[in-house]
Structure 1
């Protein structure tokens, strides 16, 4: 059963992002380079978080504190990557299929979000996935009927999709940070990132029955709202484009 569990969790955790990569990103070398650059920034954020965790001996087992500085660093590096992309945007638009398309930045944000999603999913879940091959299983404290491997696989794929949506919302917010709408978008990204991360703490809580279910529901709600925000932004750009054509 260990191999069945391994491949099942593997496809649940990485199936969606691998499908996106092979069907969309891998076909364009520019997208691959942008994805790698974004993943590198995310790796720097994770490395800085690890350094802080290593030296902060008093809070190593306090996950609530670790989440605070980890997400703060990730969001700061997200903004830094946006600033870097703004400098390269003109060149990226030139080599695009449609240099004047209003959706180019959204496409860049989506690919950049994929880089964040790929790196965080690999770092957070790959070691746990390898343990699923072992002779034993680890049951989820809040949901004793299922294993930690399965719950973490679902959480990983949800966070992967969330990172892509967050990057698209964040880029839009950073570009319009002087307006109240842009500020609200940035606040939503940061707040929902904290909310989703803290919700996952219910997975390991033995005092909250079916805590893993509540955590998944919270992540799905946040993902649904984020997707609606992205869809609304893309729709507004489409309306503007149609008005210009007319």
Structure 2
């Protein structure tokens, strides 16, 4: 059952990410007018980062609040795959990692959407969708009683995705920096 709900929820989140890009794209001219440096090539990445921060905050609140409500009960829930760690602790780490991933995914996807229909644009969009599915399905290891220390594997998968996504963002910002230096 988890796999069906993960499949639908990631698809809906990615459709909302695309819709949010379309909305921000329409508002970009007005946002550039009120920004401190209207002609900066870094405005779009800043808008994407701020959007990703809001998206990550919303996702973290929705994902973690239901678990916090369950913590009001009389006992402590232990993580099934890592019985020495509480589910609250593992979920807090996972929520933090997903927040970082959402910020980088938003930056990568906004750049990818703006580069479509080029191959680079498609590759960035596909990376965001595939890594979102990968990270989400990796979290099912937290509740696995078959995979020993599944929570550790889940965290490692998320950290690897953050590392690759961060590298993609750094390359993007580096190319924008070179472009801005050449225009001066």
TM-score normalised according to structure 1 size: 0.73
Which residue, 151, 154, 160 being the options, matches 1:212?
A: 151
Q: Which residue of 1 aligns with 2:67?
A: 128
For the residue of structure 2 that corresponds to 1:113, the secondary structure is helix
Which residue, 175, 181, 184 being the options, matches 1:236?
A: 175
Q: Which residue of 2 aligns with 1:28?
A: none
Structure 2 portions without partners, runs of 5+ = none
Which residue, 71, 86, 89 being the options, matches 1:150?
A: 89
Report the count of equivalent residues: 184
Deviation per CA, 1:40-94, whole angstroms, max 9, x where unpaired?
xxxxxxxxxxxxxxxxxxxxxx010111111111111111111111111001001
TM-score normalised according to structure 2 size: 0.98
For the residue of structure 2 that corresponds to 1:154, the secondary structure is helix
Deviation per CA, 1:186-225, whole angstroms, max 9, x where unpaired?
0000000000000000000000000000000000000011
Q: Which residue of 1 aligns with 2:136?
A: 197
For the residue of structure 1 that corresponds to 2:178, the secondary structure is helix
Which residue, 13, 25, 49 being the options, matches 1:110?
A: 49
For the residue of structure 1 that corresponds to 2:79, the secondary structure is coil
Which residue, 98, 104, 107 being the options, matches 1:168?
A: 107
RMSD over aligned Cα, in angstroms?
0.9
Which residue, 125, 139, 145 being the options, matches 2:78?
A: 139
Bigger drift between 135-144 and 95-104 goes to 135-144
Deviation per CA, 1:92-118, whole angstroms, max 9, x where unpaired?
001100000000000000011111101
Which residue, 16, 35, 38 being the options, matches 1:99?
A: 38
Equivalent-residue separation in structure 2 for 1:99 and 1:66 (angstroms): 42
- 1:68-87 aligned at under 5 Å gives the runs 68-87=7-26
Structure 1 residue 133 displacement after superposition = 4.5
Equivalent-residue separation in structure 2 for 1:151 and 1:78 (angstroms): 26
Deviation per CA, 1:106-158, whole angstroms, max 9, x where unpaired?
00000111111011111111121243344310111100111111000000000
Equivalent-residue separation in structure 2 for 1:116 and 1:218 (angstroms): 21
Structure 1 portions without partners, runs of 5+ = 1-61
